[in-house]
Structure 1
Amino acid sequence: MKKIILISTLAGVLLMSCESTKPVIIATENQMINKSDEALMNQVQRDVLKYFWEEAEPNSRLGRERYHEDNIYPQNDKNVITTGGSGFGMMTILVGVERKFIPRKEAVQRLTTMADFLAKSDRHHGAWSHWINGETGKTVPFGKKDNGGDLVETAFLVQGIISVREYFKNGNQEEKNLAQKMDDLWKGVEWNWYTKGGEKTLYWHWSPTYGWEMNFPLKGYDETLVTYILAASSPTYPIDAETYYKGWTRNGTYTTDKSKYGLPMYVKHNGAEEYGGPLFWAQYSYLGLDPTGLSDRYVANYFDLNKNQVLIDYKYCVENPKGWKGYGPNYWGLSAGYTRNNDGSVGYTAHTPINDSGVINPTAALSSFPYTPKESMDFLRFLYQEKPEFIGSAGPYDATSINYNDWFTPRYLAIDQGTISPMIENFRTGLLWNLFMNAPEIKQGLKKLDFKSTKYTF
């Protein structure tokens, strides 16, 4: 007679026979080991939705800048919402509707509350500030002189606004009303004001107190490409093509013939030319902007550019020149987010191969699914199977480290959590890419900038 041994696990029960070492797995609702890749992607998309659905700021319903399960909130900022992260949150909600994680009608009501709040919030020549008080709509300074319009954060928000408009514009009357509210919001952004009086470049910040003293021109390759695309696409306050090519591309001088690990880099990443920048540079502008077969006068394929940046990061982590414990094919990805300081406290930094402290931000690999589906899936499966302590109430925690005795911070950032579900969905169905790229103004703007695409007709 066979002897059966019951072994309790975190997610289910293993039945072990003494005649065989092969387990028969009885899966419970939370059992991840034998679930298909599709089910794993569903799981993480459902998990990260909680950040923007269950943990949203209660008045505005927009995304909190941060959510801390350990209840440590710097500067008492429980009601501080983040502009860009809220745009990513809108896209996350659309994925939730499409996958029936949340009811469509409730999502429309929630998004309408967001739109009404944004319409009444402080705006600075149409742009929103980086942080906003979710109770009052007033600007919360991100820094002493950063107390006005933040054009890049506004662009990330508008990606979400346009996606929501496109998703609901042909729906019932309530949905059409929501689409109109979103349309009004996006058309109110004075993109051309942020050329600082007509200079042929966009500027990141303007303050009603300090004017242009922040003096941060958007030049060269980083995360800000979509800002130029939206500015060129605006039907109300547009920039011209010359501003894009003189500003963003530095008159075409931002290209490079340099390679790493045998992979062409195509462009000079601002301040990170050896390996490329943090991985959010391949993500933030591309939640809506589809890089697949997308080219301009100087870059032949933005998808290849982004894919190579991610693969260089991956290959660096596999090579692991600093010898961090845990780094490898299943545990990789360097991006901006929380980090572990030398004294064990929690800080913030932009992790890259040239700023590598042994800390992995899960958003890096998970938001890279369109570029590296196998490598990203390996990371996702490893995380949910082998490191459940790295996962909290709203999905993977923002910062983790196997090297430091499985250290993690039980905290989340909207701007990191918000890219995961949309980018996975873009890999799965292209949902957000199709919504954004088929918006009439975006097509016109891309055509004006002499972009070409193998997928879309401009």
Structure 2
Amino acid sequence: MDKHDILELEMKASFDFFWKEAVTDPDSPAYGLIRDGNGPNDANRASIASVGFGLSAIVIGVEKGWITKEEGHERALGTLKTFWYNVEELNGFFFHFLDMKTAEKYENDYDVASIIDTSLFLNGAITVAEYFGREVYDYFDKIYKRVDWTKYYDEERNYYYMGYKEETGGTGQWDHYAEQLMQYILGVGSPTYAVPAKIYDGFDRPKREYKDYTFYSAPHNPMFIHQYSHAWYDFRNVVDADGVNWFDNSVQATKAQRQYAIDNKDKRPSYSEKAWGFTACDGPRGYHAHGAPAWDREGNPVENDDGTIAPTAALGSIIFTPEESLDALEYFYKEVPELWSEYGFLDSYNAEGEELWVAERVIGIDKGAGLLMLFNYQSHLLYDLYMNNEYVKKGTELLNWTQQS
């Protein structure tokens, strides 16, 4: 079996997670919600970010012939109706985790709605809105226009809050580069509650160097920060007013991760030129935002890896490092067969101990980043759909992001 055959297997298995691990009872107030993962603690816990990736997965499923367009339309429309009528929200923002039975905030979730997870959901909603049009678009449009981005805007310090409570105001801050680029597009492009384009200038852009690679990063440098916005927005030929190309930045960050694995393969038995990828994932000591090479907020090198490798880190970077990611895909499938499951690669593995440790579950956001990026490697469709959206176009123009010739 060659690399491209394995790629197709992983894509289909990842799609199956989003299709099968959803609420499919049309009479349920939670219809269309998708589990955060398929572990024992995920049975009644949906993730709105997982739903965002899952909505885009519907388009992939139709295009691949895994479901009919009618089936995809029904699931997409029903999911958006759930978010319009039933899902608990605050100022249009949704909570990270939802109850799979009631669509209300999950009992153990944070008590603030999440701007980044809402943005990931909206990205998926844009995709199906553009693909199916008509009523699906109408529900997306109502949901999007309800989001009050100004509530999450710290005007004095010119950045987004991470959360917001009516009683106490904003909490946390998006004050440095990470996965949030999508939030500037969506917030600036809003026709109802827009934030000013200058918010894009409000976050720090610390530049880091590792060997031959230079790139902007966040503390601890998990790979997902360089991937998530790129799953929908086509940054390949786009530069901002300062000439920054975020696609090129992700290429540098991905190559640095692989080089780190090569440089440390004598120290970490999991690592090699074909076994690499460090991101937020399950590990032997629980869920952790693994990243390498890594630095603290002051730019001092730190060790933030423990031998745990997450396939999504390499697979979700396939548009940045095609050959290297395909080599990793083949390695994971052939050399670590314990990773394979009903839904493709399990979340992670670690070969540091006497016995190989392998995650017991898949996680929706990790399967989603991998699936969307593998499809983006094959097709331009998701990018075409997202970039064609009127609000994405508006946000791009107001941010003064321009196409390179």
- TM norm structure 1: 0.81
How far 1:64 sits from its partner (Å)?
A: 0.6
Aligned residues: 388
Structure 2 distance, partners of 1:304, 1:133, is 39
- The equivalent of 1:344 in structure 2 is none
Equivalent residues in 2 for 1:121-270, closer than 5 Å: 121-140=87-106, 143=109, 146-169=110-133, 176-196=134-154, 200-208=158-166, 210-212=168-170, 215-245=171-201, 247-248=202-203, 250=204, 254=205, 256=207, 258-265=208-215, 267=216, 269-270=217-218
The RMSD of aligned alpha carbons is: 1.9
Q: CA deviation at 1:124?
A: 0.6
**Residue identity in the other structure for 1:182:** F
Name the CA shift for 1:42/1:378 in 2 (closer, same or farther; >3 Å).
Answer: same
State how far apart, in whole Å, the 1-side matches of 2:154 and 2:175 are: 14
Distance 1:209 1:60 in 2: 31
Paired residue for 2:27?
Answer: none
Q: Tell me the equivalent position of 1:448.
A: 398
1:44 deviates by: 0.8
Q: Establish whether residue 411 from structure 1 lines up as the match of residue 361 from structure 2.
A: yes
Amino acid at match of 2:38: Y
Question: Counting helix residues as a fraction of each chain, which structure ranks higher?
Answer: 2
Residue of structure 2 aligned with 1:278, choices 222, 225, 233:
222
C-alpha distance after superposition, 1:17-69 (max 9, x if no partner): xxxxxxxxxxxxxxxx2x4x43322211101011111122444222211212x
Alignment partners' CA distance in 2, 1:261 and 1:96: 40
Aligned counterpart in structure 2 of residue 102 of structure 1, from 64, 67, 88? 67
Q: Specify the alignment match of 1:61 in structure 2.
A: 32
Code of the aligned partner of 2:331 = F
Q: Is the 8 A contact 1:148 1:208 kept in 2?
A: no
Tell me the CA shift for residue 322 of structure 1.
6.3
1:396 is displaced (CA, Å) by 0.3
Answering whether residue 269 of structure 2 is matched by residue 325 of structure 1, we say: yes
- 1:237 Cα deviation after fit: 1.1
3-state SS in 2 of match to 1:264? strand
Look up the match of 2:79: 114
Report if the CA contact (8 A) 2:99-2:107 is conserved.
Answer: no
Q: 1:315, CA displacement in angstroms?
A: 0.5
Distance 1:300 1:196, change over 3 A: closer
Q: CA deviation at 1:196?
A: 4.4
Q: In the alignment, is the contact (CA less than 8 A) between 1:130 and 1:142 conserved in 2?
A: no
Mean CA deviation greater in 348-357 or 380-389: 380-389
Match of 2:49 among 84, 90, 97: 84
Cα 1:423–1:81 change in 2 (3 A) is same
Shift of 1:200: 2.4
Alignment of 1:348 with 2:287, yes or no, is yes
Question: Which structure 1 segments of 5+ residues have no match?
Answer: 1-32, 170-175, 342-346
* Residue pairs, 1:423-442, within 5 angstroms: 423-442=373-392
Q: Distance in 2 between matches of 1:142 and 1:166?
A: 34
Alpha-carbon shift at residue 417 of structure 1 (Å) = 1.1
| Partner amino acid, structure 2, of 1:205 | G
AA paired with 2:159?
T
Alpha-carbon distance in structure 2 between the residues aligned to 1:399 and 1:434? 31
The C-alpha deviation readout for 1:266-299, integer Å capped at 9, x for no partner, is x2x2324xxxx11001111111111202211235
Q: CA deviation at 1:431?
A: 2.1
Distance 1:313 1:417, change over 3 A: same
Three-state SS of the structure 2 residue aligned to 1:185 is helix
Aligned equivalents of 2:67 and 2:158: distance in 1?
A: 44
2: CA distance, partners of 1:206 / 1:423:
31
Deviation at 1:98, TM superposition (A): 1.1
Percent sequence identity over aligned pairs: 27
Cα distance between partner residues in 2 of 1:155 and 1:284: 10
Compute the displacement of 1:321 (Å): 5.9
Secondary structure at the aligned position of 1:412 is classed as coil
Alignment partner, residue 371 of structure 1: 320
1:394 paired residue among 318, 339, 343: 343
| Structure number, greater radius of gyration | 1
1:74-122 per-residue CA deviation (whole Å, 9 max, x = no partner) reads xxx5221111121011112211111112221111111122111111211
